[in-house]
């Protein structure tokens, strides 16, 4: 891909016209003789192809100046409209200046041809020629064409008039001496014109070249703006945006026009009007009007991409004008009618920032209705995800506003049995937090859980309910009620014996059915040859057939879904729930022992509960060791259940110690966890408000009191700052920080020295390369060629240069990034020496793209982390080798902080879980890339004493291999830096 620059002599550098033409490598470059022959004697089709080759070759640097006269003689007189259009493209790029800088004599013929085309009876030839005049900058060519161009403003066809007014504006903008009365001419044209496209073009010309005339026209026609076409309305908005600072005295007129355009029928006009209104004024009425317009657009537009863009604008408006648009939260909730989940997620995120004590009840009421709709329409695929999103939003609202916690808990308790697994899990987590934070609600929570316990079917929900019941039951009557419900959820005892009896009953029933079937078919069918004889333990023979054989799939025949919930999850090998059940039973027995009276009846009841609890625990272990489960009980679950059995065995001797361990310490640990999460959320909110806060000694700028010069300077400064933000340059980035991004590409002893400044802006990498010629010779056709490794793509190939002796040149290259992987950029510098076939090549140093430029710390809850950990298939395990050098001055927390800083990941493990002195540390880390890719890490470190080294490993999981490997390299580098 080549780039060329076509500029007129004496014109400004900003007037350069850049064109990119992709060369065809499958076609050979034609020579001059062939092109000359095709242009002279070919048909219109051949001339068209030859002229296209001349245009492409000219843009790629080929010298076709000698063909100019042949094109004038043999192509210019054609009447073929397609060929004439290609000819206009050639007039734009053809060399028009001689070596001494003066116009060539042939341009007189070109000027005459253009004049004839401007007077051509075909309106499309006139229009195409007028479009060419917008790109010409040569005064000697344009001056004879002014008259025909002015006359085209009165042409009968709108296509000619709309291009004529643009040509007049372009000529006046670059060469105002040619048409000094252009503003008045365009103003007169605008007043008399009826076609909306022509009027739009005329207003755009006035806005750029004569803003005073444009504002005067707006004052005269302000009443008719709301009834005009959408194209003209957009031009009016653009005029107001351009001139609002320069003509600050007309701000009332501008605001009145924008307010009228907020109700225009066109969605594009509404969007631009709302965006312009908030730049004109910060009045709360105007801000609310703009926000209302955005919400209306998000409700009525069918394109989900438009909805998300409008919601992004609304969120930015909320950030700049805090608290003004809070009253519009109910209108925003109407957008939830959109079936797209991303739009709903964005709406709920904004609603969470707009909710306040005044509107929280109304917001919760709407969310409750939406939640009930998802329960009724659970057949849709997205209903479960939307339900989970609503539950999380309601959860967050209740956390911010405790007064609604009771109604929210009531809603969740009534509907939790109808939720899906993920939604019910989030609901039970919220109920657990409410039970901890609001003691007054514990009794009603326990009553509802006891009532609905048999409807729970998933292990996570059962574990959460069991923990709440075991933790917050505080009376003997409540213990009896909970115990009765747990017995119903467990079923017949003993567990293993009951299952064996049921299996025997199933076998007897199958045997009877098989024997009756065999009797019915014995007379007509001989015995099956597949039957085999087996020797029993007493030495007798028995016949085994396929009708009576029972293998390991016996338990699959049992109807687990019809069994009580706790028994069903145990038979599904969920022994984690079994350990929670054992712990809950132990807590209930210990709680009953503390709250019971001293009567003989209560003592007998305590012994009964104690014996029954131990029987259930023993049954959990025996079920886990039997053939009724597909996976045997794990060692941790076995030890935990056995510890609960021993605790009940010795509860008479160590009742105080067991009470502290099972009841008080457990509740205290969870209380610290909840308080830690609340403190973290409060600190994050305080930090975000601190970043956006205005200092007491900050200066206040009043635009109305500034002079015109200062206003223009402020506009230029704002524009420059916007450009810096768009280019990714950080605020306050000085020369020293920029020097840190300079990479040396060649050595000082090479003939060409090169170094590159690497600038990373999200999806783009900009390489600004300085090339220095260190020889006393002119280096011809010097080019920097790049190739990439990884998900990097070279967008634009740098052009070739001629570098003089001991001079330098600047080369720019842009590279597009498509994923979060560590990429490598290779390159070479090739150039021609002074001699023939004197070609040289210098290999450049590699440029490594750091993955940390795209990784951002992020947060997620425990459920989401474990779900992603299970889903992601790429894992990279990094072992922490013994680091004896850093053993004395480094603890585990410092090592964790160093790894977090190096990998740019956030720690999800609560601070209170990491507190205290311990020789072992385990933590979860999480980060997300700008491309939406997730990265997980689990750290397990150990340091047995101060004199011993740190050991352990770090496991990294990601959806793609590149992130896992790149983060592993970063951690390995961090491990090395710890020793230094």
Average pLDDT over residues 381-403: 78
Please state, in angstroms and rounded to a whole number, the distance separating the CA atoms of residues 360 and 853. 39
Average pLDDT over residues 30-58: 86
Residue 290 pLDDT class (50, 70, 90 cuts): very high
Query: Average pLDDT, whole number, for the chain?
Result: 79
Percent of residues, the chain, with pLDDT higher than 90: 14
Q: What is the pLDDT of residue 204?
A: 92
745: Cα separation from own chain's centroid: 34
Residue 368: count other Cβ atoms within 10 Å of its Cβ: 16
Q: What is the pLDDT of residue 568?
A: 85
Q: What is the pLDDT of residue 733?
A: 47
Stretch (H or E) spanning 86: helix 81-93
Residue 582 · residue 566 · CB < 8 Å: no
Residue 860 pLDDT class (50, 70, 90 cuts): confident
Residue 831 has pLDDT above 80, yes or no: yes
- Per-residue tokens: 499: 């299952």
Average pLDDT over residues 858-872: 82
Residue 453 has pLDDT above 70, yes or no: yes
Average pLDDT over residues 756-761: 79
Q: Which of 264-278, 748-762, 807-821, 849-863 has the highest mean pLDDT?
A: 264-278
Of residues 672, 622, 621, 616, the one with CA closest to residue 436 = 672
Residue with token string 């002079």: 707
Average pLDDT over residues 590-594: 84
Tell me which of 131-135, 391-395, 710-714 is least confident: 710-714
Average pLDDT over residues 794-800: 73
Encode pLDDT of 226-256 as tens digits.
888 889 999 999 999 888 888 888 888 999 9
Residue 310 pLDDT class (50, 70, 90 cuts): very high
Q: What is the pLDDT of residue 294?
A: 93
Q: What is the pLDDT of residue 270?
A: 92
Question: Angle CA(315)–CA(319)–CA(323) in degrees, nearest 5?
Answer: 105
Q: Which of 261-270, 437-446, 498-507, 716-725 has the highest mean pLDDT?
A: 261-270
19 Cβ neighbours under 8 A, 6+ residues apart? 3, 4, 6, 59, 93
430 Cβ neighbours under 8 A, 6+ residues apart? 391, 394, 395, 398, 408, 409, 412
Q: Write the secondary structure of 796-814 as one string of H (helix), E (strand) and C (coil).
A: ECCCCEEECCCCEEEEEEE
Residue 111 or residue 561, greater confidence: 111
Tell me which of 27-31, 724-728, 938-942 is least confident: 724-728
Q: What is the pLDDT of residue 531?
A: 45
Residue 5 pLDDT class (50, 70, 90 cuts): very low
Residue 847 has pLDDT above 60, yes or no: yes
Half-sphere exposure of 584 (CA within 13 A, CB side): 25
Please state, in angstroms and rounded to a whole number, the distance separating the CA atoms of residues 474 and 469. 10
Q: What is the pLDDT of residue 197?
A: 92
Q: Which of 407-421, 546-560, 568-582 has the highest mean pLDDT?
A: 568-582
Residue 157 pLDDT class (50, 70, 90 cuts): very high
Residue 276 or residue 410, greater confidence: 276
Q: Which of 94-103, 541-550, 697-706 has the highest mean pLDDT?
A: 94-103
> Which residues, in sequence order, are bridge partners of residue 839?
832
- Per-residue tokens: 938: 């689990």
Q: What is the pLDDT of residue 820?
A: 62
Helix (H, G, I), strand (E, B) or coil at 929: strand
> Which residues, in sequence order, are bridge partners of residue 704?
none
Tell me which of 85-99, 689-703, 922-936 is least confident: 689-703
Q: What is the pLDDT of residue 307?
A: 92
Going by DSSP bridges, is the β-strand pair 2-6/17-21 parallel, antiparallel, or unpaired? antiparallel
Phi-psi region of 952 (alpha: psi -120 to 50; beta: other; left: phi over 0): left
Residue 394 pLDDT class (50, 70, 90 cuts): confident
Q: Max CA-CA distance within the chain?
A: 125
697: Cα separation from own chain's centroid: 37
Q: What is the pLDDT of residue 153?
A: 92
Residue 494: count other Cβ atoms within 10 Å of its Cβ: 14
Tell me which of 264-278, 314-328, 830-844 is least confident: 830-844
Q: If you count DSSP H runs as helices and E runs as strands, how many of each does the chain have, helices first? A: 40, 20
Going by DSSP bridges, is the β-strand pair 855-857/920-929 parallel, antiparallel, or unpaired? antiparallel
Residue 678 has pLDDT above 80, yes or no: no
Residue 546 pLDDT class (50, 70, 90 cuts): very low
Residue 967 · residue 956 · CB < 8 Å: yes
> Which residues, in sequence order, are bridge partners of residue 758?
767
State pTM to two decimals.
Answer: 0.70
Please state, in angstroms and rounded to a whole number, the distance separating the CA atoms of residues 577 and 461. 10
811 Cβ neighbours under 8 A, 6+ residues apart? 768, 769, 770, 771, 784, 798, 799, 801
Residue 15 has pLDDT above 50, yes or no: no
Please state, in angstroms and rounded to a whole number, the distance separating the CA atoms of residues 345 and 382. 12
Residue 887 has pLDDT above 70, yes or no: no
């Amino acid at each position: 891909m080549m780039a060329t620059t076509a500029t007129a002599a004496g014109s400004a550098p900003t007037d350069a016209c850049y064109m990119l033409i992709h060369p065809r490598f499958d076609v050979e470059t034609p020579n001059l003789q062939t092109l000359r022959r095709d242009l002279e004697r070919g048909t219109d089709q051949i001339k068209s192809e030859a002229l296209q080759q001349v245009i492409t070759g000219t843009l790629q640097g080929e010298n076709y100046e000698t063909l100019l006269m042949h094109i004038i003689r043999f192509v210019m007189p054609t009447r073929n409209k397609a060929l004439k259009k290609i000819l206009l493209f050639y007039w734009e790029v053809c060399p028009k200046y001689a070596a001494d800088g003066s116009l060539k004599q042939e341009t007189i013929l070109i000027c005459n041809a253009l004049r004839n085309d401007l007077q051509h009876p075909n309106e499309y030839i006139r229009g195409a020629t007028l479009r060419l005049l917008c790109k010409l900058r040569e005064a000697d060519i344009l001056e004879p064409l002014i008259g025909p161009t002015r006359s085209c403003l009165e042409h009968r066809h709108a296509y000619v008039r709309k291009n004529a007014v643009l040509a007049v504006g372009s000529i006046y903008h670059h060469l105002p001496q040619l048409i000094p009365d252009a503003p008045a001419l365009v103003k007169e044209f605008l007043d008399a014109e009826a076609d909306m496209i022509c009027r739009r073009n005329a207003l755009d010309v006035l806005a750029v070249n004569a803003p005073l005339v444009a504002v005067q026209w707006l004052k005269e026609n302000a009443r008719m703006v709301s009834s005009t076409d959408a194209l003209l309305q957009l031009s009016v908005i653009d005029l107001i945006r351009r001139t609002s600072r320069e003509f600050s005295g007309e701000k009332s007129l501008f605001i009145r026009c924008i307010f009228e355009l907020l109700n225009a029928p066109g969605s594009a006009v509404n969007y631009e009007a709302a965006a312009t209104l908030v730049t004109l004024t910060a009045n709360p009425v105007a801000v609310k009007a703009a926000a209302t317009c955005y919400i209306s657009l998000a409700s009525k537009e069918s394109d989900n991409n438009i909805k998300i863009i409008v919601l992004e604008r609304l969120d930015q408006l909320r950030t700049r004008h805090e608290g003004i648009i809070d009253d519009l939260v109910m209108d925003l909730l109407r957008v939830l009618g959109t079936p797209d989940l991303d739009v709903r997620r964005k709406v709920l995120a904004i609603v969470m920032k707009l909710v306040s004590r005044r509107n929280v009840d109304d917001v919760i009421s709407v969310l409750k209705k939406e939640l009930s709709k998802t329960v009724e329409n659970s057949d849709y695929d997205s209903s479960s995800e939307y339900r989970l999103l609503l539950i999380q939003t309601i959860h967050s609202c209740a956390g911010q506003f405790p007064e609604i916690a009771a109604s929210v808990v009531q809603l969740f308790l009534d509907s939790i049995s109808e939720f899906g697994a993920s939604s019910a899990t989030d609901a039970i987590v919220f109920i657990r937090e409410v039970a901890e934070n609001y003691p007054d609600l514990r009794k009603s929570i326990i009553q509802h859980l006891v009532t609905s316990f048999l409807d729970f079917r998933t292990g996570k929900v059962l574990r959460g309910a069991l923990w709440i019941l075991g933790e917050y039951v505080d009376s003997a009557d409540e213990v009896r009620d909970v115990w009765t419900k747990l017995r119903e959820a467990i079923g017949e005892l003993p567990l293993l014996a009951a299952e064996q009896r049921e299996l025997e009953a199933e076998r007897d029933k199958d045997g009877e059915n098989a024997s009756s079937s065999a009797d019915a078919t014995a007379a007509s069918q001989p015995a099956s040859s597949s039957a085999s004889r087996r020797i029993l333990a007493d030495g007798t023979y028995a016949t085994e057939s396929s009708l009576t054989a029972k293998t390991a799939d016996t338990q699959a025949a049992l109807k687990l879904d019809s069994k009580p919930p706790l028994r069903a999850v145990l038979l599904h090998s969920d022994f984690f729930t079994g350990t929670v059940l054992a712990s809950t039973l132990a807590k209930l027995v210990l709680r009953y022992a503390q709250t019971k009276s001293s009567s003989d009846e209560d003592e007998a009841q305590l012994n009964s509960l104690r014996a029954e609890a131990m029987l259930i625990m023993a049954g959990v272990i025996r079920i886990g060791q039997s053939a009724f489960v597909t996976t045997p009980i794990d060692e941790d679950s076995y030890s935990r259940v056995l510890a609960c059995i021993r605790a009940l065995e010795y509860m008479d001797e160590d009742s105080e110690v067991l009470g502290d361990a099972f009841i008080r310490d457990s509740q205290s640990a969870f209380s610290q966890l909840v308080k830690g999460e609340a403190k973290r959320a409060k600190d994050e909110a305080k930090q975000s408000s601190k970043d956006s806060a205005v200092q007491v000694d900050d200066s206040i700028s009043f635009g109305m009191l500034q002079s015109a010069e200062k206003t223009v300077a402020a506009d230029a400064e704002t524009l420059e700052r916007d450009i810096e933000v768009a280019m990714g340059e950080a605020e306050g980035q000085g020369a020293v920080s920029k020097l840190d991004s300079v990479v040396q590409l060649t050595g000082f002893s090479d003939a060409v020295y090169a170094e590159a400044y690497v600038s990373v802006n999200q999806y783009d990498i900009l390489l600004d390369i300085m090339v220095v010629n260190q020889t006393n010779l002119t280096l011809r056709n010097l080019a920097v060629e790049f190739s990439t490794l990884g998900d990097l793509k070279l967008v634009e190939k740098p052009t070739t240069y001629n570098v003089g002796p001991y001079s330098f040149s600047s080369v720019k290259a842009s590279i597009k990034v498509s994923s979060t992987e560590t990429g490598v950029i290779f390159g070479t510098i090739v150039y021609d020496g002074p001699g023939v076939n004197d070609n040289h090549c210098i290999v450049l140093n590699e440029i490594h793209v750091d993955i940390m430029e795209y990784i951002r710390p992020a947060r997620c809850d425990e459920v989401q982390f474990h779900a992603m950990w299970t889903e992601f298939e790429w894992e990279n395990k990094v072992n922490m080798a013994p680091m004896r050098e850093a053993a004395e001055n480094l603890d585990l927390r410092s090592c964790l902080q160093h790894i977090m800083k190096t990998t740019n990941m956030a720690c999800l493990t609560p601070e209170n879980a990491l507190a205290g002195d311990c020789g072992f540390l385990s933590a979860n880390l999480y980060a997300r890339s700008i491309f939406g890719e997730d990265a997980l890490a689990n750290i397990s470190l150990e340091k047995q004493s101060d004199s011993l080294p740190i050991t352990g490993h770090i496991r990294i999981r990601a959806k793609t291999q590149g992130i896992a490997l790149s983060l592993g390299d970063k951690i390995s580098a961090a491990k090395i830096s710890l020793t230094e």
